[in-house]
Amino acid sequence: MPGNGAGPATGGGVRCPALVIAAPASGQGKTTVTAALARLHARQGRRVRVFKCGPDFLDPHWHQLASGAPVHQLDLWMTGAADCARRLHEAAQDADLLLIEGVMGLFDGERSVADLATHFGIPVLAVVDASAMGGTLGAIVHGLRHYRAGLPWAGVLANRVATERHASLLRAGLNDPADWLGALPRVAPGAGESGPRLLPERHLGLVAAHELPDALQRLDAAADALAATPLGQLDGAALRRWSVEFAAPGNGADDADPASPTPPLLAGRTVAVGGDAAFCFVYDANLQTLERLGARVVRFSPLQGTALPPCDAVWLPGGYPELHAEALAANTGMQQSLREHVAARRAVWAECGGMMALFESITLQDGRRLPLWGLLPGHVTMQRRLAALGPQQLEVLDGQVLRGHTFHYSTCDSPAAVRARTTRPHAPEGGAPGEALYRHGSVQASYFHAWFASNPRATAALFGAE
């Protein structure tokens, strides 16, 4: 068994090799490289922990399969620096390698991936789609490395490279030969030029790993390709060049400890949480927050179950109700059980896809109009273009604000009462209105995806706490 790359450090901190996998833009191959790297080292017996920067429900499915360990989000705004510090410190105590997949481009957003890497001193591995370039790779790498002084740096991995000659041209363009960590082939191993993507996509992002019977084989193919690169040939001892000290929570700049006791505002209550192919957008950290609030969390399938489990409140999370609209409409048992739950004035928090399923009907992209559950008045319409994307915050109670995000390809039209609207962080007054928080009886619903740990008291209010 390879030795643990982690070790004690000063001031209660712990050291562990770590990399931030970033890129100049979206679509460069960050997820594939991160998952391949995790799978490669997990196969060699190392304990790998993977994190995802920013809000994302889909990439973590692949990283969890690759690493065999839970995957959590890191975001300096949504989750907060203290929460990030606590999770990294906890993971570093038991891991041989930490991998953090970035989001968008390295410097994109107010709290960018570069900000996070610099804040924690984690070296950046740049993944660049080099399929249509040669020596220009050197200019891109020079810019990424030197655009911001003090950015921790590991090197570059060229992705979607055509031939060995192509790789040699790319490598020759680098100012510093030490930046070169290898090249990955342009197509998925075993696939032709027109073959399928190694990790397939659809309108909300990657197809979740659990939906593909050959998901692990796909990761193994990616890991095998990575094993032929200089990056993939680094052993545990070599990885220590990227060892980082992760401070204990409460030390240094991140003084607010998010692990401090949470008031048991949901003690004695049972919260039923939907979870299946139609409702799969659930952060594990949100489930943990409900449990810290004292709730008993039970999972159920709104798609296949015939009735709610005994519960005091329901959470219908986001997902793909549009892909399962006919099956949802046909599940009259679950529909009736939800109606009885609402008639008893028990709380329902319906988030994005969960809200969509509660409307009366949906128009799909092909023009078909199908019925849904009808617990919320109104209609939802799918569209080909993204309708909304980005960080959002929602005031649930007076002064009690939840942080989160929005990401959807549908619009809705509803006469239900709008209790509040989300706002963008740091947005000027008078900007475009945010997502509506609808209130209809005991149902509260919105396109807004909440990060529960950002305000446990506001979270408890969504589930019926006084």
**Angle in degrees, CA 20, 401, 299, rounded to 5:** 70
The candidate with the shortest Cα–Cα distance to 437, out of 345, 349, 361, 346, is 349
406 pairs with which residues across the strands? Answer: 390
The residue type of 378 is G
Check if the beta carbon of residue 360 is closer than 8 Å to that of residue 377.
yes
The candidate with the shortest Cα–Cα distance to 154, out of 6, 19, 25, is 19
Annotation says 412 is catalytic: no
Check if the beta carbon of residue 166 is closer than 8 Å to that of residue 132.
no
Which residue among 53, 280, 352, 412 is the active-site one?
A: 352
Check if the beta carbon of residue 435 is closer than 8 Å to that of residue 422.
yes
> DSSP state, 309?
P
Which residue's structure tokens are 């109670």?
397
360 pairs with which residues across the strands? Answer: none
List the structure tokens of 82.
């203290």
Q: Name the burial class of residue 165, with classes exposed (0-12), middle (13-18) and buried (19+) by CB atoms within 10 angstroms of its CB.
A: exposed
- Just list the catalytic residues: 352
